[in-house]
Amino acid sequence: MEKTSEIFVAGHRGLVGAAIFRRLQDHAYTNIITRKRAELDLTGQEAVRDFFAREKPEYVFLAAAKVGGIMANSTYPADFIRENLLIETNVIDAACRHGVRKLLFLGSSCIFPRMAPQPMKEEYLLTGPLEPTNSAYAVAKIAGIEMCQSYNRQYGTRFLPVMPTNLYGPNDNFDLITSHVLPALIRKFHLAKLASEGNAEIIARDETRFGPIPDDIKASLSPDDSPPKVVLWGTGQPKREFLYVDDLADACVYLMENYDGTELLNIGTGEDKTIRELAEMTRDIVEFKGEIVFDTSKPDGMPRKLLDVSKLSGLGWQAKTDLKNGIRETYQWYLKNLK
């Protein structure tokens, strides 16, 4: 990529797209194209074709997607499969028609079979049944990988599918029902800490900024609740790997700049933790003094999801942000955005 190349970041307002946008700016790229959803609906084929015909981007980061945590995925599977298939089909096809030089497609580690050996190598794709809580989303992402590879074979394009592990960081979705686990932990511990300190008016502000607090959580946020507690989902035993989103963005820009291959690539840290360990770490960072309770009526999802990152390490890239520091940064972002 030249510093003046036209680069389209699809999904620049989301967790991943915003981080890629920041990274490109840091690397002094001067011609980054973005469109808000109201300006360009990526699920509309004609609108996407017109946009590519007019703007003729040379490079594309396809970070636009419908994403969510375990509950959102299992409650709205039709929305997840439909929106993701439409976005991928429209953008990948338009990129091919309009001669995009290189496209990076972002998938997710949930594409791998539920019981895949750990850590999961790229070649484990399609070797077993998927995790049911997110199979609709996973199938859409697998279709995106197959599209990249099929267009490469048939049309000689350079479309690179990458599979990030679970992500977190500034700009995340902190909605207590639809979010991923890490923002939910930060917000739940913070609210419980405020409640135990009797800060009702800050809790109201939180709800205005980050979305409704479900009634059961509200009920538990009583200053008289002694000892104060936070209720988390599942058993706490599943293991997850967490990558700070700025590290992911760094990897994406690095691959666009330095890698000419188009084989599927995992992006992660190579380390994981149980949800309980993650919860205890987050509790300590937020300085909540109460108990952690697990609601086992809620799903665990995949028992373990650790990526094998040896291919990426072989290309000279490694994650930099330590999990504790990443959680601290994300908590600071959340606090700043409460104001």
**What residues make contact with ligand GFB under the rule CB under 6 A?**
69-70, 73, 108, 110, 133-134, 137, 166, 179-181, 184, 232-234, 238, 240, 275, 298-302
The residue nearest ligand GFB at its CB is: 69
For 114, the token pair is 């539920």
Q: How far is the CB of 330 from ligand GFB (least distance, A)?
A: 14
Q: How far is the CB of 41 from ligand GFB (least distance, A)?
A: 23
Residue 151 zone, left/alpha/beta (φ > 0; ψ -120 to 50; rest): alpha
Q: What would the DSSP string read from start to end of 217-228?
A: HHHH--TT-SS-
For 289, the token pair is 């003094």
321/50 Cα distance (integer angstroms) = 39
Q: How far is the CB of 54 from ligand GFB (least distance, A)?
A: 33
Q: Which is nearer to ligand GFB, 57 or 238 (CB)?
A: 238
57/217 Cα distance (integer angstroms) = 46
Residues 85, 43: contact at Cβ < 8 Å?
A: no
**Residue indicated by tokens 């084929």:** 45
* DSSP-derived 3-state class of residue 64: coil
Q: Which is nearer to ligand GFB, 134 or 220 (CB)?
A: 134
Task: Give me the catalytic one of 29, 59, 137, 244.
Answer: 137
Distance of CA 322 to the CA centre of its chain: 17
* DSSP-derived 3-state class of residue 214: coil
Q: How far is the CB of 72 from ligand GFB (least distance, A)?
A: 7
Q: Which is nearer to ligand GFB, 34 or 274 (CB)?
A: 274
Q: How far is the CB of 117 from ligand GFB (least distance, A)?
A: 18
Q: Which is nearer to ligand GFB, 96 or 278 (CB)?
A: 278
8-state DSSP, 123: G
320/248 Cα distance (integer angstroms) = 10
> Does 137 qualify as catalytic in the annotation?
yes
Q: How far is the CB of 60 from ligand GFB (least distance, A)?
A: 22
Neighbour tally for 139: CB within 10 Å: 17
Q: Which is nearer to ligand GFB, 71 or 100 (CB)?
A: 71
Q: Measure Cα distances from 324 to 1, 231, 279, 289 in Å.
A: 33, 21, 12, 18
Q: Which is nearer to ligand GFB, 24 or 306 (CB)?
A: 306
Number of H helices, E strands in the chain: 12, 13
Q: How far is the CB of 80 from ligand GFB (least distance, A)?
A: 8
Cβ neighbours of residue 259 closer than 8 Å, sequence gap 6 or more: 160, 265, 315
Q: Which is nearer to ligand GFB, 9 or 72 (CB)?
A: 72
Nearest to 168 by CA among 304, 331, 337, 339: 331
Task: Tell me whether the omega of the peptide bond preceding residue 227 falls within 30 degrees of 0, making it cis.
Answer: yes
- Give the residue numbers annotated as catalytic, written as ranges: 137
